Structure 1
Amino acid sequence: MTKILVIEDNNLMREMVLEILESRGFEAVGAENGQVGIQLAIAQIPDLILSDVRMPEQNGLQVFAVLRSHPATASIPFIFMTASDMQKALELKADGYLQKPCSVAEMLGTIATQLEKPTASNPQHQKVQDNSAPSNLGLPARNRKSRFEIASFCWQ
């Protein structure tokens, strides 16, 4: 099962993203700030990281720098989610960016794009979880709507 770490200090936002990811067949893990996010990333080695930029303890830009410098986490796809610091995020050359607010479809599309890319540590690796992208979900899961899916979920 594909594991995604969500680093977001807004409790409601983090819980909504986790619920959406879990409803799509991902294993989703949440961190309430950058410091906890770094610890979880190193301990659990997720397949992908979604991170807010503005957070206490360590912001997303600092989290990105720390994880890129750590051998075990350097090649994990990293997607920034931000409402106001997009220029700073773009300068760091992360793997993806989501401008808040964004739709569930935009988030899932960005995740799917990153998971389908070969990784630097294993160029032969391709996404093998058939249930990880919305287009590959079985009919019941695809038709099941999250209670949060009606509105855009990414806001500040």
Structure 2
Amino acid sequence: MGLAKILIIDDTKSILDVLKDFFEFEDFEVYVETNGQKGIESALENLPHLILCDLMMPIKNGYEVYEELKANQITKDIPFLFLTADVNIQTKMNDLGDNSVDYILKPFNLSKVMETVKRNLAID
């Protein structure tokens, strides 16, 4: 696969910085965006192997980003991970009924983030 490309969409700069540094250290190619609309544009331009997306953001929230990217033939199969502090997220994920979507709860542990990312990319 070469370097796995990850797109991180979050409006919190500190989260973007931590995740970007972490994934770059782990030899991923990382793209970051601070709102949902820019995230959609970046996904279409860069075609990442996986998307990490905050739920609550300006312009377009995580659900809107998810819906738009899943409706697009080019991006519909990209694994999508929500970043959220919503402890009721599992119920919402079940409602989506999509096996290509997962979530990471905030505050997160970086080793759990990597475990979830690797599972969704199907890499060791």
TM score, norm. by length of structure 2: 0.89
Distance in 1 between the 2:111 and 2:4 partners? Answer: 18
Distance in 2 between the 1:21 and 1:90 partners? Answer: 28
Higher Cα Rg: structure 1 or 2? Answer: 1
Shift of 1:95: 2.1
Contact 1:64 1:78 in 2 (8 A): yes
RMSD: 1.4
Q: Which runs of 5+ in 1 are unaligned?
A: 117-126, 128-132, 134-156
- Structure with bigger helix share is 2
Distance in 2 between the 1:16 and 1:91 partners? Answer: 30
Matched, 1:88 2:83: no
| Pairing partner for 1:73 from 72, 75, 90 | 75
Closer, same or farther: CA 107–49 of 1 in aligned 2, 3 Å: same
Contact 1:35 1:57 in 2 (8 A): yes
Q: 1:28-67 alignment to 2 at 5 Å?
A: 28-67=30-69
Distance in 2 between the 1:79 and 1:46 partners? Answer: 12
Distance in 1 between the 2:8 and 2:95 partners? Answer: 21
Aligned length: 118
| Pairing partner for 1:10 from 2, 9, 12 | 12
Q: Secondary structure at the match of 1:71?
A: coil
Q: Deviations over 1:24-78 (max 9, x none)?
A: 0000110100000000001110000000000000000000000000010000000
| Pairing partner for 2:112 from 106, 125, 135 | 106
Q: Which runs of 5+ in 2 are unaligned?
A: none
TM score, norm. by length of structure 1: 0.71
Shift of 1:102: 1.6
- Structure with bigger strand share is 2
Distance in 1 between the 2:69 and 2:39 partners? Answer: 10
Same amino acid, percent of matched pairs = 33
Contact 1:61 1:89 in 2 (8 A): no
Distance in 2 between the 1:67 and 1:103 partners? Answer: 27
